[in-house]
Structure 1
């Protein structure tokens, strides 16, 4: 089944947490394209960015540690699947998409989205 996968990055196409992403990309496997949307919630909040991503009707989102927060995770839980990755750029993700997709999950371990509390 071909999916639409959200990926958040900056103008240099480095993967970024939701609130630091200037661009929201949607990898459309069927059309073999990446649709790019300017993120109006850039520098606002992770929740605001997640709201936009959910409105785009994607199936999954590519995440790294701390890309989400508890709020954005709860908003998307059950509505999106999550694809944790070690890659750092959009191009790396695209070049290795089949391998990346093997990590797809319904939920994430809490340490991936928990807020980091400084002692």
Structure 2
């Protein structure tokens, strides 16, 4: 399985537009491919477009990593893996456990825009 993740240079998981790196965990090759995010600092939709071009089967997400637009762009094309882990190392160390959370869709609060209170 090819699993996408988004993180910064310190390998801390980040929302799409804040990620400097787009990574693909390729289980078959047993490697992590890393790509510079061409949409860093732009938008979640632009980053999602770059991710989809890499052909992942799933993407690791945390609350507000996606937005309604990026969720709709990816819905039906990838599966989602919600996680509480915060770094690439934690994901790799617990990959089998993380993959058990895979799903076809997300609860709305996972991709809803954050509104300041």
User: How many residue pairs were aligned?
Assistant: 117
Gaps of 5+ in 1: none
Structure 2 unaligned regions, length at least 5: none
Cα deviation digits, residues 82-110 of structure 1 (max 9, x gap): 00000000000000000000000000000
Report the Cα offset of residue 34 of structure 1. Answer: 0.2
Q: Output one character per residue of 1:15-61: Cα deviation in whole Å (capped at 9) or x when no partner.
A: 00000000000000000000000001000000000000000011000
Following the alignment from structure 2 to structure 1, what is the Cα–Cα distance between the partners of residues 37 and 113? 22
Cα distance in 2 for residues equivalent to 1:118 and 1:25? 30
Moved beyond 2 Å, runs of 4+: none
Query: C-alpha root-mean-square deviation of aligned residues, in Å?
Result: 0.6
Aligned position for 1:47:
45
Shift of 1:11: 0.1
Q: 1:23 and 1:118 mapped to 2: Cα distance?
A: 27
Could you tell me the TM-score, scaled by structure 1's length? 0.97
Structure 2 Cα separation of the partners of residues 56 and 43 of structure 1: 19
